Structure 1
Amino acid sequence: MMDLKCTIVVLSFFVIVNVALARDYRCTVEGNSCLFRDVQLKTSELLAKATFSSNTDSPKSVRFESSSMFQLPAAVFQKFPNIEVFDGSYSGIKALQSGSFLSATRIREVNLTGNKISALGNNLFDGAGKINSLDLAQNDISDVSANAFGGLSQLKKLNLSSNRIAALSPNVFTPLVAVEVVELQHNMLSKIDDGLFTSCTELITLNVSHNALQKFELRQFLREWSVDAIDVSHNRLKTVSIPKNLRKLVASNNQIQSVEALGKEPALIFLRLSYNRLTSIEQIPNLNKLVTLDLSYNQLETFDFNSVKKFKNLILLKLDGNKIASISNTLVNDVRYVKYIHLAHNRLTRFDMDTFRTLPRIIKLDVGYNQLTEFNAKRIGDKFPVLVRLILDGNDFLCDRVGELTNELKHAITEYRSTIEKCKAGQRLVDGICCK
């Protein structure tokens, strides 16, 4: 009799445990959106027994909030096959299992940002061929299988930023024939295969900044259609190439010593090469459509403004933070397209505005934080009628010699005045100019 009672007690205990484990999560419905709060599925056993429900039969959007889940809950897609948007961000998900998306045949957007996913296996997204946006940023991904993105022929945006990816299979992006945006910044990539993006014929924006790349062959983007922007900043590149159809290249914070143009008539309009090892403007090829050129914080020691002829549409030229001690201008004819010139944080000790006599349409000139003791601005208002901003902060002007300069500036439309907060220690403000 006692054995029978014990058996009944044990069976009752297991029934209670199983009932406790088998929890149904009901979402809060907002329009066609279904919000699950505080879903706690920290083991595979809890995950297997969980069910999901809502007051609406076919929500188009499902989001998890304040939740912690061991794996992606495939049961959600089985229960709600009409889901188009799935947001499981910051939910503690550690793994994606093959087959999880088999029932998600209508899904278009998947957001798994901020989880703990460490690997992307083969054929993860089978069944979900309509996904056009996949966000896997801020995970722990270090392993990406060769066919991880198989079947995603409609994907337009892929975000893999802020992970631990050190290498990618040469064919991993082959299925992504429609992808337009790829984000790989803040990973550990030291190499990118020369043909990694060859199949991505619709790609218009690529970010591989903040990696450890020593080489990245941009020749694979040498094609007839446009590529809007490529960011390779914060790597270890020593050389960079510019495909003729690329419009914007950001390559700052590398070790670049040479730049090459690929193809005739490059379409580039924006080029940022700050914080590199360039020593001369001659290391930059002719770029007739270039509008913005940033060469700040390189190793230039001299500069001749005759070189702007290489850039027939240049408006902004940034030369801040170099070692320029002298500038010259051997331009014979006027160049009227240059509007903004930045020369701050260099080693200039004297400056004569007549140097810019063939650049009469300058709107802004920054020569702050040099070592200037003299600045000739005779007839500045007549010679530079649209110069509205002149920055002179952080120089070494002598107070008993600034009167001539301020008298000239008072007759021009140019705003030049500084504030006492911008003066160096021991300097005072005289007619808007810091001096000692």
Structure 2
Amino acid sequence: MRLFLLLCLLTLGAAKSYQRINVMELMKNYDLMMADEDNSDEDDSKEEEDYEENESCPAGCHCSPRVVQCSDQGLISVPEKIPEDILMLDLQNNDITEIKENDFKDLNKLYGLFLINNKISKIHPKAFRNMDKLRILYLSYNLLTEIPENLPPNVLELRFHENKISRIQKDAFKGLNRLHVLELGANPLANSGIELGAFNGLSTFYVGMAEAKLTAVPKDLPSSITELSLDYNKILKVEVEDFIRYKNLLRLRLGFNQIKSVENGSFVSTPNIREIHLDNNQLKKVPPGLSSLRYLQVIYLHGNKINSVGVNDFCPVSPGIKKNLYTGISLFANPVKYWDVQPATFRCVIGRRGVQLGNFRK
């Protein structure tokens, strides 16, 4: 299960424009995940044969035993008579404007639902009833203005990238106790639009809020998160209180903001962090406290205004404190004179290629 989710996350996490999801490829990953189920090859081929003979396929769609693909058909609504026993339903890149109460009424075996790149602005509160087996729900690139009510209770991956969501109400994700991945990037979401308790009950690992209108790190996200993406916002500074709640954080993305300062001790609450992105900001010095992070391996600081680097900015004085050596430190595109940086500054870096310095050009 974790491998499957990781594959999804790696392929979609950095996307900034609509990219078609290969549903059949996801189906292969699903098969790998379910390989230990007690289904013989003989039974599978019989099921496929019966399906081809007895099941109908919506007009314009392509159907296989467990997948119905209706992408790029100019559909303005969810097609009728979708086979009830399918696992994946692909409705990408259509003109669907609304999800009605009975659109998925009998699809109680559905595992993945892909509604990316439509014109959906309204979802009926009962649209996802009886969909207890749904694990993947992609609603990115639509016109939703708020989080839909009564989302499938066992969903693992939920994506709302690039909608019109400017407010997340209290208990918006109530009951989603198994949610691992939550993508909310590219929405007009400001800090004031996140109500206290909006993420109550979640034990999510990844939260994406890049390309929004945030001016500070949100303080009320799930405490379980291990990866937080806040790139391309308007965050001005990093303070000690920002990460007190996020003790499990492993990867932090704050690139392309307007950060001018990082308060000393800001990362004390994240002792296991492995990767920090602070590139393309307004920093004038290396953030304090990096040398105390025993497991930090990658730090991106390129594209700032850093003009000097101290010998102990990255590495602790006592070599025994550092558990993981750095594999990457980027300092290029800063006004620092690299010939003034002492070689001992990078004594806890693996290999010469682990540090990226370069001439600064105005």
Q: TM-score, normalised by structure 2?
A: 0.68
Q: Secondary structure at 1:374's aligned position in 2? A: coil
Q: Which one of 64, 71, 77 corresponds to residue 119 of structure 1?
A: 77
Cα deviation, residue 332, structure 1: 11
Q: Which residue pairs with 2:220 in the alignment?
A: 285
Indicate the percent of aligned positions where both proteins have the same amino acid: 17
Query: What does 1:86-101 correspond to in 2, within 5 Å?
Result: 89=61
Q: Which one of 137, 140, 144 corresponds to residue 92 of structure 2?
A: 137
Q: Which residue pairs with 1:393 in the alignment?
A: 332
Aligned residues: 310
CA contact (8 A) 2:173 2:198 kept: no
Cα deviation, residue 85, structure 1: 8.4
The amino acid across from 1:113 in the alignment is S
Q: Which residue pairs with 2:280 in the alignment?
A: 345
Task: Rate the CA distance shift 1:357–1:85 in 2: closer, same or farther, 3 A.
Answer: same
Q: Tell me if 1:408 matches 2:344.
A: yes
Inter-partner Cα distance in structure 1 for 2:201 and 2:132: 27
CA contact (8 A) 2:173 2:199 kept: no
Cα deviation, residue 377, structure 1: 1.6
Inter-partner Cα distance in structure 1 for 2:97 and 2:107: 20
Q: Deviations over 1:334-358 (max 9, x none)?
A: 96423322221122223376x4343
Task: Rate the CA distance shift 1:259–1:134 in 2: closer, same or farther, 3 A.
Answer: same
Inter-partner Cα distance in structure 2 for 1:187 and 1:380: 43
Cα deviation, residue 166, structure 1: 2.9
Cα deviation, residue 226, structure 1: 1.1
The amino acid across from 2:71 in the alignment is T
Structure 1: runs of 5+ lacking an equivalent: 1-57, 63-76, 91-103, 240-255, 427-436
Inter-partner Cα distance in structure 1 for 2:95 and 2:175: 34
Cα deviation, residue 364, structure 1: 2.2
Cα deviation, residue 329, structure 1: 1.4
Cα deviation, residue 216, structure 1: 4.9
Q: Which residue pairs with 2:142 in the alignment?
A: 187
Q: Deviations over 1:143-177 (max 9, x none)?
A: 55432333333333322322233323333333534
Q: Which residue pairs with 1:369 in the alignment?
A: 303
Query: What does 1:411-430 correspond to in 2, within 5 Å?
Result: 411-413=347-349, 415=352, 417-418=355-356, 423-425=359-361
Structure 2: runs of 5+ lacking an equivalent: 1-45
Q: Which residue pairs with 2:53 in the alignment?
A: 81
CA contact (8 A) 1:109 1:134 kept: yes
Q: Deviations over 1:255-302 (max 9, x none)?
A: x65464457775232222223333334x41375433223333333333
Q: Which one of 115, 123, 127 corresponds to residue 160 of structure 1?
A: 115
The amino acid across from 2:134 in the alignment is V
Cα deviation, residue 84, structure 1: 8.9
CA contact (8 A) 2:259 2:283 kept: yes
Q: Which residue pairs with 1:301 in the alignment?
A: 236
The amino acid across from 2:74 in the alignment is K
Inter-partner Cα distance in structure 1 for 2:241 and 2:123: 44
Cα deviation, residue 333, structure 1: 7.5
Q: Secondary structure at 2:341's aligned position in 1? A: helix
Task: Rate the CA distance shift 1:170–1:394 in 2: closer, same or farther, 3 A.
Answer: same
Q: Tell me if 1:329 matches 2:329.
A: no
Q: Which residue pairs with 1:252 in the alignment?
A: none
Inter-partner Cα distance in structure 1 for 2:268 and 2:117: 50
Q: Secondary structure at 2:286's aligned position in 1? A: strand
CA contact (8 A) 1:116 1:140 kept: yes
Q: Secondary structure at 1:139's aligned position in 2? A: coil
Q: Secondary structure at 2:309's aligned position in 1? A: strand
Q: Tell me if 1:275 matches 2:211.
A: yes
Query: What does 1:109-258 correspond to in 2, within 5 Å?
Result: 109-120=67-78, 124-125=80-81, 128-142=83-97, 144-191=99-146, 193-195=148-150, 197=151, 200-217=152-169, 219=171, 221-223=173-175, 225-238=177-190, 258=194
Inter-partner Cα distance in structure 2 for 1:404 and 1:153: 65
Q: Secondary structure at 2:248's aligned position in 1? A: coil
Cα deviation, residue 331, structure 1: 7.3
Q: Secondary structure at 1:350's aligned position in 2? A: coil
- Higher alpha-carbon Rg: 1
CA contact (8 A) 1:271 1:290 kept: yes
Q: Deviations over 1:227-278 (max 9, x none)?
A: 2333333233346xxxxxxxxxxxxxxxx65464457775232222223333
Q: TM-score, normalised by structure 1?
A: 0.58
